[in-house]
Amino acid sequence: MPTSRLSVGQRLALGFTTLMALMVLMAAGVQWQLAQVARLNQDIAQAQGAAVLAVTWQGHTQTNLARALSVAKSGGQAELKAFLDPMMKETTARINELQKQIEGLALTDSQRQQLGQVAQTRKVYIDSRAAVLKRLGEGDPQAAADVDRQVVPAANAYLAAQASLVGSLQAQAQEAAQSGAQALDTSRRLLLAGSVLALALGIVMAWRLTRSIIGPMRRLMHGAEQIAEGHLDRPMAQDRHDEIGHLQGTLEKMRRQLQAMVSGIRRSTQSIGNASSEIAAGAQDLSARTEQTASNLQEAASSIEQLAGNVRQTADAARTANQMAATAAEAAQRGGQVVGEVVSNMSDITEASRKIADIISVIDGIAFQTNILALNAAVEAARAGEQGRGFAVVAGEVRTLAQRSAAAAREIKTLIHASVERVESGSRLVQSAGSTMGEIVGSVQRVTDIIAEISASSTEQSDGIAQVNTAVNHLDQMTQQNAALVEESAAAAESLKHQAEQLNHAVDRFSVGDDPPPAPLAAGASPPAAAPAIRQTALPPAPRPAPRPAARAPAATPSDHDWETF
């Protein structure tokens, strides 16, 4: 299947799929090489670890051998043996541990044989060393000579077997390191070769994709530039079946629709000019009427402002009267309280006068009894003769005083009785004055309430007139704004006329041919059919300037249809 029949998406998918397949193959190869390198690294680590363990084992063996020979050469000195024996035991335990670790490693058959040889020679060396040290401890004189004949040869054989094993492990580690280096170098070469291959294929595919897309896009851009320059009579070629071909078809459809639209605009430009002239005339008429309405509203606002001032003065006077009535009510209430207190005091005075009258009555009785007693004393003094003469004089004086006291008491009683009658009369008058003051306070309170209602009503009227004044001012402002808008509309209509002329000159730069295709003509003529719907949404605001018969007449003309469509 040739790639020219594929879409742009299919071409891109094919190119990227090929690149991704190469990347997957490269990743699989690299993964396999990395697995090999990891395995070789593990082998290297194991071999190097085994070599390190063997070298450590060899070092401990040499150390223990030197200690044993030192004890043997010294003739079995107790102090030296006691000093070196713990060290030898510790080193021997470490050697046993290292030997077990080496035995647990993955060794070759030859290395297993070498390890068995090391274990065998070690056993011979340990047995000969133990026997000689035991004989030295027992004081055998031949034991020192047997050190060179038995222990040293066994130790040399033990060390030789160890050296053979160490050499084998070190050679194995070196061989593993070389294999790892070779595998790493091979992986690097394969990765480089795959990268070069993928880069070459990517460059080739990118070049082919770019060549298959850029060429048609340039031709497409040339056609779009022709449309931008106004050459609407030059059709675009449609020779592809991919996305670019669909775009060519879309641009060709756009060219035909633009061709039809520009033709319709040419036919409508003159109608726009006529409609704009009629709109300008109607706007001038509406502007004059709006200015007259604004003048009338200003006069109404001035009258309402004067009425608002009068109502405010009335409200202020009502508030002042309300305050004065409230003050009078408070004074009347205070007077009523004072009268009440006077009534209470008069009642107290009446009660006190009655008590004084009672006391005077008691004094009168005492004076009467004193007079009787003085009379009796005078009688008794007369009976006594000369001896009672002085007492008779005193009794006479007492009788005289008693009579005078009785006379004074009667006079005071008479005065007190008259005072009590006057106080009771004054109390009745004060009570009557208190009732009258209460009625005055009630009347003043009712007057205060009525004045308060008048004040509240005046305040509400003032507020209502202020709101009406504010509304009229707002209406005046809106009318002035409408007048300004009408003037702007007139200017806009005049500007629209000039713009229609400019639009006519602008449309002249498009070349649409003499006979446009039928389909674009139908598409260009379809918008006028929708003109009534546009008229319905645009005409409702018109009733605001009610007297406008001249502006409505052109609504049925064909030029107005063209204007609404535009």
- Measure Cα distances from 317 to 117, 313, 458, 500 in Å: 137, 6, 10, 66
Q: For 34-90, how does the pLDDT look when each residue is reduced to its tens digit (9 = 90+)?
A: 776 677 666 666 666 666 776 777 777 777 677 767 766 666 566 666 666 677 777
Q: How far is CA 35 from the centre of its chain?
A: 53
**479 shares its domain with 422:** yes
Rounded to the nearest 5 degrees, what angle is found at the Cα of 220, between the Cα atoms of 218 and 221? 65
**198 shares its domain with 270:** no
- CA-based max dimension of the chain: 191
Q: What is the pTM of this model?
A: 0.30
**545 shares its domain with 496:** yes
Structural domain tally of the chain?
2
**201 shares its domain with 249:** no
Whether the Cβ atoms of residue 372 and residue 399 lie closer than 8 Å to each other: no
CB atoms within 10 A of CB 38: 12
Query: How much is the pLDDT for 530?
Result: 36
Q: For 463-489, how does the pLDDT look when each residue is reduced to its tens digit (9 = 90+)?
A: 877 888 788 787 778 888 887 877 787
According to DSSP, residue 388 is labeled: G
Read off the pLDDT of each residue in 299-304 and give the average, rounded to a whole number: 78
**136 shares its domain with 207:** yes
Q: According to the per-residue pLDDT averaged within each range, which of 63-72, 232-241, 442-451 is highest?
A: 442-451
Q: Sign (positive/negative) of CA torsion 541, 544, 547, 551? A: negative
User: Does residue 228 belong to any structural domain of this protein?
Assistant: no
User: Does residue 380 belong to any structural domain of this protein?
Assistant: yes
CA distance 288 to 279: 14
CA distance 541 to 231: 41
Q: Which of 30-39, 222-231, 440-449, 508-517 has the lowest mean pLDDT?
A: 508-517
User: Does residue 227 belong to any structural domain of this protein?
Assistant: no
| Average pLDDT over the chain, rounded to an integer | 72
Among the candidates 219, 252, 279, a domain finishes at 219
pLDDT reading at 540 higher than 70: no
User: Does residue 476 belong to any structural domain of this protein?
Assistant: yes
CA distance 394 to 378: 9
**187 shares its domain with 48:** yes
CB within 8 Å of 405: residues ≥ 6 apart: 363, 366, 367, 370
CA distance 123 to 310: 138
pLDDT reading at 366 higher than 80: yes
pLDDT reading at 435 higher than 60: yes
Query: The domain that contains 309 carries what CATH number?
Result: 1.10.287.950
pLDDT reading at 105 higher than 60: yes
Residue 267's pLDDT band (boundaries 50, 70, 90)? Answer: confident
Q: How far is CA 323 from the centre of its chain?
A: 55
CA distance 223 to 244: 13
User: Domain limits at 34?
Assistant: 3-219
Q: For 391-407, how does the pLDDT look when each residue is reduced to its tens digit (9 = 90+)?
A: 677 778 787 887 787 78
Query: How much is the pLDDT for 560?
Result: 42
CB within 8 Å of 80: residues ≥ 6 apart: 70, 71, 74
**333 shares its domain with 393:** yes
CB within 8 Å of 473: residues ≥ 6 apart: 301
Residue 553 amino acid letter: A
Q: For 183-234, how does the pLDDT look when each residue is reduced to its tens digit (9 = 90+)?
A: 777 777 877 887 788 788 778 877 877 777 777 777 777 777 777 777 777 7
User: Does residue 231 belong to any structural domain of this protein?
Assistant: no
Q: What is the radius of gyration, based on Cα positions, of the chain?
A: 70
The token duo for 36 is 């090999």
**96 shares its domain with 209:** yes
**211 shares its domain with 252:** no
**280 shares its domain with 409:** yes
Q: For 141-181, how does the pLDDT look when each residue is reduced to its tens digit (9 = 90+)?
A: 666 666 767 777 877 887 787 777 777 777 777 777 777 67
Among the candidates 185, 219, 253, a domain finishes at 219
**305 shares its domain with 355:** yes
**173 shares its domain with 253:** no
CA distance 179 to 41: 9
Share of the chain above pLDDT 90, in %: 0
pLDDT reading at 557 higher than 70: no
Query: The domain that contains 96 carries what CATH number?
Result: 1.20.120.30
